[in-house]
């Protein structure tokens, strides 16, 4: 069975340009590793990181002559994933979609003439079983966790059970990916990993609870640190990024992870993309000691559970404390801000940006609330430009941030000098880029 997994190109995104981020298709790497464990030899094409034209991608797929093509589909890759589906269909392969947007828009996408199957939720077990059934020419009727077509009719099977023990998953198959392409700040090599899946909160505008059945599951601390150690020894990235939905959902586990890194005396720099604002200063100090450089706080998450962006005073205080604690612990606090939810108006938005500035984060990502927003894309882009300019075009920000960064980075064990040089170059470029928006 020749299996190809494809990470299609994404629509251009402002934050990726500004933050110089190119990340590996982590979900596909976990699926490929699982397939390998079952004896298959899949390949992954990362058309996104390698900036492939559709002609290049087509000729790669033709050369591979696949039996099954699995495609990652997220909101910024819908058109591109359907283009890949068309190419794969023309080659006679079975076409499978997976990923967040395939779940979000399941009923529409399964009707697409070039899509045979959609895998719902996590892919390792279901996709592998699907390959086995396809190989033996059997129906998918009894396979939970898929939507598929039979005799031209779309059928949606019930969800599959979640993988009960995430420790049982093999390490992601990064050996199938062009690792030299994955960077942050334009030139700092990264690897990503996931220490947990799902989230038990239920913010109004989020597909994650649906994808993972409203549950959070974490790998054990020793397994997480095994994975960190393996990635850092094998690929030697300057930084490991946790791409969990909610890394600190279980605070005791987060603490045990940092204890384990310290116990093994690993010299690893890491950051996590999804941090709760209830992380204590003591834990942040431990995280910092274990090599944590940055924490990204999703500051609007709790707000979306009730009224978007109408921030109550108790909440504001907790968020403010989280940011100042991170500074005191020597970590870069970064604000993750999703804007443009239904019900928001321009004034709410300007207040939100001012509030973020007052929190004094080292950086801020501003994300359009796609696909949920009532604003059209032009207006969302205007808001995004406004936010980046307001945030980065402040003289006191540049001076304060540079001096603060030098102090924070220089206090790390085995001073990462090359990191600081690359980071400073990128910062200058970023400020220039933002001016051009
Ligand atoms: C980390 C993260 C980011 C990071 C890095 C993204 C990157 N470049 O990799 C940052 C912060 C930069 C980011 C940005 C954005 N993100 Co984001 N992000 C995530 C997050 C939390 C984790 C992604 C991840 O790597 N998970 C770990 C892997 C192991 O899980 P996975 O990808 O889900 O894969 C599993 C399954 O989905 C499935 N699967 C996946 N692909 C396939 C393919 C096949 C064939 C099969 C069978 C199965 C399958 O099996 C995998 C293994 O079990 C997700 C939540 C999520 N779970 O998707 C949101 C999420 C993907 N992001 C989302 C959004 C909206 C965005 C932005 C568009 C925000 C914006 N407005 O700019 C951008 C788009 C960036 C881009 N180019 O893709 C939405 C997507 C919604 C949608 N309908 O598609 C999500 C789901 C969050 C949400 N709350 O709704 N994001
Ligand atoms: S906390 Fe984050 S991942 Fe969890 S439901 Fe809210 S937005 Fe989604």
Place 178 in a pLDDT band, splitting at 50, 70 and 90.
very high
Chain segment 22-55, per-residue pLDDT in tens: 999 999 999 999 999 999 999 999 999 999 999 9
CATH of segment(s) 3-156: 3.40.50.2300
104 vs 88: CA distance, rounded Å: 22
140: helix, coil or strand? coil
Which pLDDT score, from 0 to 100, does residue 347 have? 83
Tell me if 9 sits within 8 A of 74, measured CB to CB.
no
The per-residue DSSP string of 151-213 comes to: TTEEEEPPPPPPPS-GGGSPPP-GGGS-GGG-EETTTEEEEEE-SEEE-S---TT-SHHHHTT
- Give the chain's mean pLDDT: 92
The pLDDT of 425-436, averaged and rounded, is 86
In testing the pocket of ligand 1, which one of 74, 224, 375 has its CB within 8 Å of the most ligand atoms?
74
Summarised one tens digit per residue, pLDDT across range 259-283 is 999 999 999 999 998 888 889 999 9
Distance, C-alpha 204 to centroid of its chain: 19
Residues in the chain: 437
- Model pTM? 0.95
List the beta bridge partners of residue 196: 218
The pLDDT of residue 310 is above 80:
no
The residue-averaged pLDDT of 109-129 equals 97
> For position 306, what pLDDT does the model report?
42
Q: Is the CB of 208 under 6 A from ligand 2?
A: yes
Least confident of 9-13, 295-299, 417-421: 417-421
Predicted pLDDT at 307: 41
The tens digit of pLDDT for each residue in 52-108 reads 999 999 999 999 999 999 999 999 999 999 999 999 999 999 999 999 999 999 999
- Pocket test of ligand 1: the residue of 100, 123, 194 to mutate, having most ligand atoms within 8 Å of its CB, is 100
The C-alpha atoms of residue 298 and residue 386 are separated, in whole angstroms, by 20
Residue 323 has pLDDT above 80, yes or no: yes
Given the structure tokens 């397994």, which residue do they identify? 223
Could you write out the DSSP letters of every residue in 101-117? HHHHTHHHHTTSTT--E
* Three-state DSSP string of 385-412: HHHHHHHHCCHHHHHHHHHHHHHHHHCC
> 370 CB less than 6 Å from ligand 1?
yes
Least confident of 36-50, 352-366, 390-404: 390-404
Given a cut of 80, whether residue 136 has pLDDT beyond it is yes
C-beta of 247 in contact with ligand 1 (< 6 A): no
Name the residue ranges covered by the structural domains of the chain: 3-156, 182-435
CATH 3.80.30.20, applies to 182-435: yes
Does 137 have pLDDT greater than 70? yes
């Amino acid at each position: 069975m020749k299996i190809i997994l494809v990470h299609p190109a994404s629509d251009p995104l402002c934050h990726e340009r500004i933050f110089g981020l190119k990340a590996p298709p982590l979900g596909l790497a976990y699926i490929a590793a699982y397939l390998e464990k079952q004896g298959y030899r899949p390949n992954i094409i990362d058309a996104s990181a390698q900036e492939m034209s559709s002609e290049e991608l087509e000729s790669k797929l033709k050369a591979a002559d696949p039996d099954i093509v699995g495609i990652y589909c997220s909101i910024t890759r819908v058109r591109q994933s359907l283009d890949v589906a068309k190419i794969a269909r023309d080659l006679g392969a079975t076409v499978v979609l997976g990923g967040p947007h395939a779940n979000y828009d399941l009923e529409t996408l399964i009707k697409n003439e070039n899509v045979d199957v959609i895998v719902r939720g996590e892919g390792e077990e279901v996709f592998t079983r699907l390959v086995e059934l396809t190989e033996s020419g059997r129906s998918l009727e009894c396979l939970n966790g898929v939507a598929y077509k039979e005799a031209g009719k779309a059928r949606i099977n019930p969800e599959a059970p979640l993988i009960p023990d995430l420790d049982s998953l093999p390490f992601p198959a990064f050996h199938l990916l062009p690792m030299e392409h994955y960077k942050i700040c334009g030139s700092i090599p990264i690897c990503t990993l996931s220490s947990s899946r799902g989230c038990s909160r239920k913010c109004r505008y989020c597909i994650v609870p649906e994808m993972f059945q409203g549950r959070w599951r974490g790998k054990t601390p020793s397994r997480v640190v095994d994975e960190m150690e393996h990635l850092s020894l094998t690929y030697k990235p300057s930084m490991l990024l946790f791409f969990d939905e909610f890394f600190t959902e279980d605070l005791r586990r987060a603490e045990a992870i940092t204890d384990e890194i310290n116990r093994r005396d690993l010299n690893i720099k890491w950051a996590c993309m999804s941090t709760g604002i209830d992380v204590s200063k003591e834990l942040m100090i431990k995280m910092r000691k274990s090599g944590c450089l940055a924490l990204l706080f999703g500051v609007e998450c709790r707000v979306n559970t009730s009224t978007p962006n109408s921030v109550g005073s108790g909440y504001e205080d907790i968020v403010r404390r989280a940011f100042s604690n991170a500074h005191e612990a020597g970590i870069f606090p970064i604000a993750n801000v999703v804007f443009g939810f239904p019900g928001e108006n321009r004034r709410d938005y300007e207040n939100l940006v001012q509030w973020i500035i007052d929190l004094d984060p080292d950086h801020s990502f501003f994300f359009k609330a796609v696909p949920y927003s009532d604003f059209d894309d032009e207006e969302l882009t205007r808001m995004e430009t406004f936010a980046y300019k307001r945030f980065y075009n402040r003289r006191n920000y540049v001076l304060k941030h540079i001096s603060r960064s030098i102090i924070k980075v220089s206090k790390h064990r085995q001073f990462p000098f090359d990191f600081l040089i690359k980071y400073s170059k990128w910062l200058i470029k970023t400020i220039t880029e933002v001016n051009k928006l």
